[in-house]
């Protein structure tokens, strides 16, 4: 594997404060929880970590607070081989956090505080325009301000950098942004919010993909959970590429691992179907482990898994 192409990831950084509880707390109730721990998360950070661990030269444009957690997370990214020069520290602000209760039923309840993530706007993006212009691909999500995401997409488009958006968490988006995209990777829920079409089979996925194509997006990947990924290329392949069956224990960051793996393989020159298989493999490993970034596999682990599936 030789990797000379560069990926820029733009997005969020969160510290996940996780507590196991017998049931979700009711108003006025004091509940004894256990297993408290802090795990590093945030969709942007997860995708950057996945790409870097899987072998991609990765720059990460993001914001942290001037707190010990932010510093610790930035140091962890550097240890994963990510270029952290474009991670900005916001004075007098906390790093983003997620407060997560995990009930005995397996359900979780999450409250987010954006903190420094709310500062990743056009002004910050403009400082790192050269990083985006010189990259081969730009990967983004929707946990940071749309002004920064749109600005980054325009810089990328103007400089021939491929623009990929994982539109999560789901929200409606302006056509101005969608027109800048080369690829979009929603799940069924996100596809429905963006196109108005309920995706529940290949026919409805085709309809939703056509809406994205009409807005100028050449490649559409709609993730269908256990069914795999529906792929629609404006000028070519259309169909479902199945994933791998594993015993899942925690699906946190599975989608982020998929996106990081997909870009890694595409930048190495793999075909889209080969890249999706590689991404499926990395994501399959991640769901057999707990946590966000702790669950993301290395390149070697992913290749061993894929060889065992042949």
**Catalytically active residues, by annotation:** 256
The tokens describing 192, both together, are: 């429905």
3 state DSSP class of 89 = strand
> Is residue 217 a contact partner of residue 167, using CB atoms and an 8 Å limit?
no
The torsion region of residue 289 among left (phi > 0), alpha (psi -120 to 50) and beta comes to: beta
Q: What DSSP letter does each residue of 99-152 carry, written as one string?
A: EEEEETTS-EEEEEE-GGGGG-SHHHHHHTHHHHHT-SEEEE-SSS-HHHHHHH
User: For residue 157, what are the CA distances in angstroms to 84, 168, 240?
Assistant: 23, 21, 28
**CA–CA dist 219, 228 (Å, integer):** 16
φ and ψ at 188, to 5 degrees?
-60, -45
The torsion region of residue 35 among left (phi > 0), alpha (psi -120 to 50) and beta comes to: left
Return the residue matching tokens 């001037």. 66
> Is residue 166 a contact partner of residue 255, using CB atoms and an 8 Å limit?
yes
**CA–CA dist 106, 68 (Å, integer):** 31
**CA–CA dist 23, 103 (Å, integer):** 5
């Amino acid at each position: 594997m030789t990797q000379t192409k560069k990926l820029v990831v733009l997005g969020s950084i969160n510290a996940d404060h996780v507590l196991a509880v017998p049931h979700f707390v009711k108003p006025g109730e004091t509940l004894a929880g256990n297993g408290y721990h802090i795990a590093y998360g945030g969709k942007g950070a997860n995708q950057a970590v996945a790409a870097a661990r899987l072998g991609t030269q990765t720059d990460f444009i993001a914001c942290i607070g001037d707190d010990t957690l932010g510093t610790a997370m930035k140091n962890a990214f550097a240890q994963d081989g990510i270029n952290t020069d474009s991670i900005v520290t916001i004075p007098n602000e906390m790093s983003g956090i997620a407060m997560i209760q995990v009930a005995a039923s397996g359900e979780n309840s999450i409250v987010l505080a954006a903190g420094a993530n709310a500062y990743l706007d056009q002004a910050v993006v403009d400082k790192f325009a050269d990083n985006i212009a010189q990259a081969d691909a730009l990967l983004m999500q929707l946990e940071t301000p749309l002004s920064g995401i749109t600005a980054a997409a325009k810089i990328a488009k103007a400089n021939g950098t491929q623009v990929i958006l994982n539109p999560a968490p789901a929200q409606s988006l302006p056509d101005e942004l969608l027109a800048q995209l080369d690829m979009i990777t929603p799940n069924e829920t996100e596809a429905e919010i963006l196109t108005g079409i309920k995706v529940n089979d290949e026919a409805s996925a085709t309809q939703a993909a056509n809406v994205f194509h009409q807005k100028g997006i050449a490649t559409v990947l709609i993730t269908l959970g256990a069914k795999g990924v529906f792929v629609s290329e404006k000028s070519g392949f259309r169909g479902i590429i199945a994933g791998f069956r594993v015993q899942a224990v925690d699906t946190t960051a599975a989608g982020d691992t998929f996106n990081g793996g997909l870009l890694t393989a595409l930048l190495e020159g793999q075909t889209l179907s080969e890249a999706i298989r590689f991404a499926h493999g990395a994501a399959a490993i991640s769901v057999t482990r707990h946590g966000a970034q702790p669950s993301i596999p290395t390149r070697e682990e992913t290749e061993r898994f894929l060889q065992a599936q042949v």
